[in-house]
Every structure is written in structure tokens, then in C-alpha cells.
């Protein structure tokens, strides 16, 4: 009828965006695509989010034209390995691996201070809480919250000022690693949301940005065997690593 607005279809993807998302691919096979997601871009759309990874996935479609599918998420400000399923059957297998905790995830973080002990497990349930202005925040809540467990280890430290942590979450709660690092008394560098003023250090290049990176993931491949993908640090974060004398290419695989 006159005056009806046709339903909005997928937004056309510009050549620049098409080239950009292709440049993020660090692994590709018939079932799985792995991206090294930069910090600062959302994985999915929402209020005040116009450009996001999910909106650009048509650019990664294979010859059969099937649209790739997200199987997990990273926070907007977290960088690193993001797995995409090439087709529906792959999405089901990958989704099962994440739900069944068969996905072994390794994160790197720079934290302000050095945790004691330098190796351990954080077991603190967390829950979402509505904050001011409609923003959600995650808080520790051992009564009403969901179980959240993280293993951690100090890889290196710059005096008592900063530590490089490798984090192995056993559960996958929203903002789990950020809340757990703050609980240790060593908030992630740049994480004002959970660390407040203590999360900031003067004179550190890029220190105002969250220094949390999804370094590697290992899980059963949908076609059999094991898939392991490792993502290099983004340039800005690698610069901070070098500023403190840390090697951004160091192998921190769990033995």
C-alpha cells in the first residue's frame, strides 16, 4: 500500500569495509574462519552501535553464498581471536564446544600492580547489575551470581608497577576477567569501569585503553581433530608491552 516502508535489508558493505574485515582473517578453512578482532569495535549491534563485526560477515561468505555465523563474542574493547562458523552445521559443532567447555581460551592482560600469589585460581561468582544511565555492570555476588572461575599466572613484571598475566577462564561470564583481575587488587590497565582511578598509569603509551587480549583458542574442529588459533597483539598493545620490556611474541602455551 502507498506510504508503507519496505523492511530494511542488510546494509550494503562498502569496499573499504569488505577489505577491512578480510584483513582481520588469521585462519580460514571450509568450516571455520578466525579473525583477530581489533579493540574498539563491537561484535554485535545494539543501541548506539552502527558498525559491528556481525554486520560485515556477508563479506566473508564462501562460494556457496551461505552467510557465516558468530559462535561466541568478545567485549568491544577486548581484542583477539574471534571464531566464525562458515555454515550452519559448523556453527552447531562450535557452539557445542563452547557450551560444553571444550574450548580452551587463553587471554593476555597487563594489570596495574603484581598479584599475590603470582599464580592461582580466582573462584568468585558474578552477576549483572543495572547501573546509572542504563549501563550494565558486572559485580561479584556469591549468593545470586553465576559461578565464575579463572586460572592466572604472572608471565613477567616491571617492578611492582605492572604485571603481564596469562589468564585461562574455565567459565565464560560477561566481563569475568575484568572483575576477577580487579578482585585480585590488580585491575587491568585502562579498565576504569572495574578498576577506577587505580587502573590508570601516567606516562604509559595508550594506557587509557583496555589491555586485554584473547591470545589463543583451542577446541575440537568440526571436521575432526583440534583447531588452535593464536592472535598477535594489536599494534597499540604491542607498543605497551615493549614499553615495559615485555616480548609481545612470547609463547605462553600451557604445558
Which active-site residues does the annotation give?
Answer: 75
- 189: buried, middle or exposed (CB in 10 Å: 19+, 13-18, 0-12)? buried
φ, ψ of residue 236 in degrees (nearest 5): -60, -40
> Cell for 62?
564462501
Local structure of 179: helix, strand or coil: helix
Whether residue 74 contacts residue 24, with contact meaning beta carbons closer than 8 Å, is answered with: no
Q: What's the N-to-C CA distance of the chain in angstroms? A: 66
Dihedral angle of Cα 218, 219, 224, 227, to the nearest 10 degrees: -20
Q: Strand pairing of 79-85 and 212-220?
A: parallel
φ, ψ of residue 177 in degrees (nearest 5): -70, -35
Whether residue 88 contacts residue 95, with contact meaning beta carbons closer than 8 Å, is answered with: no
Determine the Cα–Cα distance for residues 140 and 242; give it in Å rounded to an integer. Answer: 33
Compute the residue count for the chain.
255
φ, ψ of residue 176 in degrees (nearest 5): -55, -50
Q: Name residue, grid cell 583458542.
A: 217
Amino acid at each position: 500500500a502507498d506510504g508503507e516502508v519496505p523492511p530494511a535489508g542488510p546494509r550494503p558493505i562498502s569496499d573499504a569495509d569488505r577489505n577491512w574485515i578480510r584483513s582481520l582473517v588469521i585462519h580460514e578453512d571450509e568450516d571455520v574462519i578466525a579473525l583477530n578482532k581489533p579493540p574498539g569495535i563491537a561484535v554485535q549491534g545494539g543501541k548506539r552501535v552502527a558498525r559491528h563485526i556481525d554486520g560485515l560477515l556477508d563479506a566473508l561468505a564462501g562460494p556457496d553464498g551461505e552467510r557465516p555465523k558468530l559462535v561466541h563474542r568478545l567485549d568491544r574493547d577486548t581484542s583477539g581471536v574471534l571464531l566464525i562458523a562458515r555454515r550452519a552445521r559448523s556453527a552447531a559443532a562450535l557452539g557445542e564446544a563452547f557450551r560444553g567447555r571444550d574450548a580452551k581460551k587463553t587471554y593476555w592482560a597487563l594489570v596495574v600492580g603484581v598479584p599475590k600469589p603470582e599464580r592461582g585460581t580466582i573462584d568468585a561468582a558474578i552477576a549483572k547489575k543495572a547501573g546509572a544511565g542504563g549501563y550494565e555492570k558486572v559485580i561479584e555476588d556469591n549468593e545470586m551470581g553465576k559461578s565464575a572461575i579463572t586460572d592466572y599466572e604472572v608471565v613477567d613484571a616491571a617492578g611492582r608497577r605492572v604485571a603481564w598475566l596469562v589468564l585461562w577462564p574455565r567459565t565464560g561470564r560477561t566481563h569475568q576477567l575484568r572483575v576477577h583481575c580487579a578482585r585480585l587488587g590488580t585491575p587491568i590497565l585502562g579498565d576504569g569501569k572495574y578498576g577506577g582511578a587505580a587502573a590508570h598509569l601516567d606516562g604509559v603509551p595508550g594506557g587509557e585503553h583496555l589491555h586485554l587480549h584473547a591470545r589463543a583458542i583451542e577446541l575440537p574442529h568440526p571436521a575432526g581433530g583440534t583447531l588452535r588459533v593464536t592472535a598477535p597483539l594489536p599494534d597499540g598493545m604491542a607498543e605497551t608491552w615493549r614499553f615495559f620490556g615485555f616480548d609481545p611474541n612470547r609463547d605462553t602455551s600451557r604445558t
